[in-house]
Chains A and B, each alone.
Chain A
Amino acid sequence: MNNSESLKIIILIFAVIPLIGAVFLFLTKILKGKKFGYIFEFSLLIQFITGCFIIWKFDGIPMKIQLTSFKIIAPFFEISKIRIIFLTLYLLMIFFVWISRKRKITFDTINPTLIFMFFLSGCSGLVFSSDMFTYYVYYELMILCSYVLITGDEKYYAALKYMIFNSVSSMFFLGGIGIHYYSQGNLIISGETIKDTQAITLFLIAFLIKGGFFPASSWVPTCHSGARNIFSGCLSSFAISTGVLGLYRFVIAPSEINGFLIYPEIIKYVSVITIILSSLFLFFEHNLKKAVTHSTVYVMGVCGMLLGGGEKELVFIYLIIHCFYKMFMFMLLYDIDYSDKNDNLCIKTNKSGKILFILAVLFAGGFFPSFTYFAKMAFSQYFPGIKIIWYISMFFIFAGFFKFNFIVEKGRPTQKKKIFFMSTALSIPIIGIILKKLLLLKLLIVKIGFFIKLGGIKGFLSKAIIALLTYFNSKLFDIHQYFLIDVIVLIAALTLSKWLISLDKRRIEKLIANFSEDLNLELFAILLLSAICINIVYFQNI
């Protein structure tokens, strides 16, 4: 068996691994075994190793896999660079679930664990599936399990809202599949095959809802904050990112190939509104968990902006980094005491918890040297006036989190392990950015060879430092310029947040609550968005 054949088989069984684990768990349930946690951890481990093996074996050449033995419906899988980045995101999620399992903060009974394994199967199937119907089925598996898992803590309204919005988006998706099938005669997801503008418009609306973009963004805080913290992390880091993946595969890739320039423009405008509104809602949010989920919507807005600007790889790398700090933020919430409706906005935590939370907030808002900071430099050219919008939203995010009063309690135990993991997680993106943006790998290798040739290790080190300093110096103006404004925004947020929140807050909050939580109003807004999208596409005559 050669390299590509072994890779094909592993890709095919990848999504089945959690299902096999679920079968063993079910047997444990029948036999009334109590050590079900080991099976759960073992299947997570197996899938993690399999995923790492796929990344290791992938040599950069896209590969297509079709199960031809199924003559009528042939499931179609594909591996490419973007899929590998998305696979990394999935593996990261598994890794954090495993950590939470070790800390005993994940599902403690057998039934939710069983459903969670089905959820994982749906997630992993989405990574490689490349025909529309398999994608639809895996998506439905993922969200059906999410409905049940959100109700775990008796948050039935959150589950209901999640259900209505996702089923509306699934209707649009299914309609798009139907139109595509009857115009093209196939179900393959690729830029070359998706050509029908009606189908693309329906896909656009479906994935804007699934990705939590405006006007369908208010379900995200309600639903994601309803679940248990670790599952909220899974929803905020992976499940919502599938909306961005869908936008790329079903809308952006076909638009680029067929020259439909209107779709990236629509995504850009919707993303700008999402960025502004999510930061504003975050500022007026009193529930800390909901505030964290508002920042997820903000990230989706940034991703939409990057996607509309054509920065495909940057989007998915950004999502990986978002997964890091979002999972940590949700894990930190286990150690923080906060009230759902607390007028004093008090957060009780220990010293390490406070430091880590502030770090995570800085990364969420896009302070130097976070990835968002570099992303904003990349997308400032795509949209007029984006810099002003960016800084206003950044101000509201910082002010929204720093309006909470941190009360440090000395009696709480400090967690050195968590500090180690957090600092590692925060440093990895920085190293990645330095490698990607500052030292292009090939150039580095050539330079290493050149310097060693010149004067050994001593000479190499001194010259490498000089080269790095020269490079930083050339880039310093940009970094310096943005960094200064960032510092000003942060100071303004710290000083003005408490004053702003005291200004007639009840009235503003009531207004925002009415606007953001009225189910019928939101459904009407979605209908309006679809009508606008369809009209724009038809008036453009594409």
Chain B
Amino acid sequence: MIYIMIFIAIYGLITSDNIIKKIMCLNIIESIIIFSFIKAGCLTNGIAPVFEGFDKIYVNPLPQALMLTAIVVGVCFNSIALSILIEIYRKNKTISVRELRKKINEQF
């Protein structure tokens, strides 16, 4: 499933002309990385890492803590990317990469 998702995201990133689709593809790749990171730290019989005694099996809390930071970074990226996109649309009335390039070349 992870491989299929990565393939879809990379295909979309390379072929799509729409900037929103490109940002979405980047988000998919980021989500896959975060998911794989957390999945690898998971144990089948492990419980959440809140201390309940020495006899319990806990999942590794480090990947979760790290990925929380990565999610925050991803949210920051999305907010900036979309705000730039809004400005691009206001100025050029398009969100297509090719049309944007054409318009920029015409301006100069």
Enumerate chain A interface residues (CB-CB to B < 8 A). Answer: 72-73, 133, 136-137, 140, 144, 147-148, 151, 154, 156-157, 159-160, 163-164, 167-168, 171, 174-175, 178, 181-182, 340-341, 513, 517, 519-520, 523-524, 527
Which of A156, A171, A520 contacts B87, CB < 8 Å?
A156
**CB neighbors of A among B62-108 (8 A):** 62-63, 65-66, 69-70, 73, 76-77, 80-81, 84-85, 87-88, 91, 97, 100-101, 104-105, 108
B4 at the interface (CB under 8 A from A): no
Is the Cβ of A147 less than 8 Å from the Cβ of B91?
A: no
Assess A527 versus B29: contact at CB under 8 Å? Given A167-B77, A178-B40.
no
Is the Cβ of B13 less than 8 Å from the Cβ of A523?
A: yes
Q: Chain A contacts of B62 at CB under 8 A?
A: 72-73, 181
Q: 3 nearest interchain CB pairs?
A: A341-B108, A156-B88, A140-B73
User: Interface majority SS on A: helix, strand, loop or mixed?
Assistant: helix
B46 at the interface (CB under 8 A from A): no
Instruction: Please report the C-alpha to C-alpha distance between residue A174 and residue B15 in the assembled complex, in whole angstroms.
Output: 23
From residue A500, how far is it (CB to closest CB) to chain B in Å? 23
Q: Chain B contacts of A168 at CB under 8 A?
A: 13, 26
Assess A144 versus B88: contact at CB under 8 Å? Given A72-B62, A133-B69, A524-B14.
no
Is the Cβ of B108 less than 8 Å from the Cβ of A163?
A: no
B57 at the interface (CB under 8 A from A): no
Q: Chain A contacts of B61 at CB under 8 A?
A: 72
From residue B28, how far is it (CB to closest CB) to chain A in Å? 10
Enumerate chain B interface residues (CB-CB to A < 8 A). Answer: 10, 13-15, 17, 19, 22, 26, 29-30, 33, 36-37, 40, 61-63, 65-66, 69-70, 73, 76-77, 80-81, 84-85, 87-88, 91, 97, 100-101, 104-105, 108
Is the Cβ of A520 less than 8 Å from the Cβ of B76?
A: no
Instruction: Please report the C-alpha to C-alpha distance between residue A524 and residue B22 in the assembled complex, in whole angstroms.
Output: 13
Which of A133, A136, A163, A340 contacts B81, CB < 8 Å?
A163
Instruction: Please report the C-alpha to C-alpha distance between residue A167 and residue B33 in the assembled complex, in whole angstroms.
Output: 13
A-B contacts besides A72-B65, A160-B84, A163-B80, 4 pairs, CB < 8 Å: A72-B62, A148-B80, A174-B37, A527-B10
Q: Chain A contacts of B73 at CB under 8 A?
A: 136-137, 140, 144
Is the Cβ of A171 less than 8 Å from the Cβ of B80?
A: no
Assess A167 versus B66: contact at CB under 8 Å? Given A144-B80, A527-B10, A527-B14.
no
Q: Chain A contacts of B100 at CB under 8 A?
A: 157
Closest chain B residue, CB of each to CB of A340 = B108
Q: Chain A contacts of B66 at CB under 8 A?
A: 73, 133
Of B19, B30, B61, B80, most buried by chain A (CB within 10 Å of CB) is B80
Q: Chain A contacts of B15 at CB under 8 A?
A: 520
Instruction: Name 24 A/B residue pairs within 8 A (Cβ), A-sorted.
Output: A72-B61, A73-B66, A140-B77, A144-B73, A144-B80, A148-B80, A151-B87, A154-B87, A156-B91, A159-B84, A160-B84, A160-B85, A163-B84, A168-B26, A171-B29, A174-B37, A178-B33, A178-B36, A178-B37, A178-B40, A181-B63, A341-B108, A520-B15, A527-B10
Is the Cβ of A160 less than 8 Å from the Cβ of B88?
A: yes
Q: Chain A contacts of B91 at CB under 8 A?
A: 154, 156
Assess A171 versus B26: contact at CB under 8 Å? Given A133-B69, A137-B69, A178-B37.
yes
Q: Chain A contacts of B104 at CB under 8 A?
A: 157
Which of B26, B70, B85, B87 contacts A167, CB < 8 Å?
B26
Instruction: Please report the C-alpha to C-alpha distance between residue A60 and residue B13 in the assembled complex, in whole angstroms.
Output: 47
Q: Chain A contacts of B101 at CB under 8 A?
A: 157, 517, 519
Q: Chain B contacts of A163 at CB under 8 A?
A: 77, 80-81, 84
Q: Chain A contacts of B97 at CB under 8 A?
A: 519-520
Which of A133, A164, A171 contacts B33, CB < 8 Å?
A171
From residue B15, how far is it (CB to closest CB) to chain A in Å? 7
Is the Cβ of B84 less than 8 Å from the Cβ of A171?
A: no
Assess A164 versus B26: contact at CB under 8 Å? Given A72-B61, A181-B63, A523-B13.
yes
Instruction: Please report the C-alpha to C-alpha distance between residue A46 and residue B18 in the assembled complex, in whole angstroms.
Output: 45
Closest chain A residue, CB of each to CB of B79 = A144
Is the Cβ of A520 less than 8 Å from the Cβ of B88?
A: no
Closest chain A residue, CB of each to CB of B29 = A171
Instruction: Please report the C-alpha to C-alpha distance between residue A15 and residue B75 in the assembled complex, in whole angstroms.
Output: 23
Instruction: Please report the C-alpha to C-alpha distance between residue A340 and residue B69 in the assembled complex, in whole angstroms.
Output: 41
Instruction: Please report the C-alpha to C-alpha distance between residue A72 and residue B26 in the assembled complex, in whole angstroms.
Output: 29
Is the Cβ of A151 less than 8 Å from the Cβ of B84?
A: yes
Is the Cβ of A174 less than 8 Å from the Cβ of B84?
A: no
Q: Chain A contacts of B40 at CB under 8 A?
A: 178, 182
Instruction: Please report the C-alpha to C-alpha distance between residue A523 and residue B29 in the assembled complex, in whole angstroms.
Output: 14
Closest chain B residue, CB of each to CB of A342 = B108
Q: Chain B contacts of A72 at CB under 8 A?
A: 61-62, 65
Instruction: Please report the C-alpha to C-alpha distance between residue A17 and residue B37 in the assembled complex, in whole angstroms.
Output: 33
